[in-house]
Structure 1
Amino acid sequence: MARALRTLTRLMGWSSVAIGLYHVLLGNAAIPGAASAGTTVDSWGRFMGASFVGYGLAWLWAAQQRPIPARAVRWLAGVFLLGGIGRLLSLAVHGWPHWFQIVLASIELGLPPILFWLADAEERTQRSEVRTATAAR
């Protein structure tokens, strides 16, 4: 479980950093259908890209900890889930977006429960190891 959690945590970190940098560098061109959206959307998209880089760095920080802090994973996964919920709200208000946004929403809604489960399992393992070590004294 710990290995799967560490792998997914690193994957979340590096992919978020890469996606964020892509948006910072390309602006509107990074968003399907937004190439002609104008300067306000470009500015917002680049800012959000930088924020996503920071989000990815938080995942990478968590991946470097020994053990990985389950609480941090839960918070970061919760933010990711909130992004997916935001996409659902957009779908309800404005209709179906570009197909790639549907793929992203599926990942944002499907991956957090797995991360929550892995974080909980890792936390239970850590507690068990502490109890065993304490009992052995």
Structure 2
Amino acid sequence: MAKALRILTQLMGWACVAIGLLHVVLGNAAIPGAGSAGATVDSWGRFMGACFVGYGLAWLWAARQRPIPARAVRWLAGVFLLGGVGRLLSLAVHGWPQWFQIVLAVMELGLPPVFFWLANAEERAPRGGVEAVSSDR
């Protein structure tokens, strides 16, 4: 379980960093259907891209810890899940978005339970190499 969590956490981190940088560099061109949205949306998208880079770096930080901190993974996965909930709210208010946004929503709603499960399993896993200290002397 630890290896699966580490690999998935690293993939999430690198994907978020790459996507965030893409948004910083390309602005509106990185968002399907937003090419003509104007300067305000472009500015917001580039700012949010930078935030997504930071989010990805947080995932990478977690992946480098030994053991991976389950609490951090649950918080990061919760933020990802909140993004999926935001997409559902947008769907309810504005209707169906471009098809790729639906794919992203499925990922944002489907991956967090996997991370929660793996983090819980990792947290419960016995740690080798550490002996219990006896209070009898």
TM-score (norm 2): 0.94
The answer for the alignment partner of 2:2 in structure 1 is 2
2:131 partner SS: helix
Q: Deviations over 1:1-24 (max 9, x none)?
A: 000000000000000000000000
In the alignment, residue 6 of structure 2 is paired with which amino acid?
R
2:108 matched to 1:108? yes
Paired amino acid for 1:129: R
Specify the SS of the correspondent of 1:134: coil
Distance 1:136 1:121, change over 3 A: farther
Residues 24-68 of structure 1: CA distance to partner in whole angstroms, max 9, x if unpaired?
000000000000000000000000000000000000000000000
Q: Which runs of structure 1 show a deviation greater than 4 angstroms over 4 or more consecutive aligned residues?
A: none
2:54 corresponding residue in structure 1: 54
Query: For residue 78 of structure 2, what is the amino acid of its counterpart?
Result: G
Query: Does residue 88 in structure 1 map to residue 88 in structure 2?
Result: yes
Distance 1:7 1:136, change over 3 A: farther
Match of 1:134 in 2: 132
Q: Count the aligned residue pairs.
A: 134
Give the whole-Å Cα distance in 2 for the aligned partners of 1:8 and 1:65.
14
**Aligned equivalents of 1:116, 1:12: Cα separation in 2:** 14
Structure 1: gaps of 5 or more residues? none
User: How far is 1:129 from its partner?
Assistant: 3.1
Question: RMSD of aligned C-alpha atoms?
Answer: 1.6
Aligned residues: percent identity? 79
SS in 2 for 1:37: coil
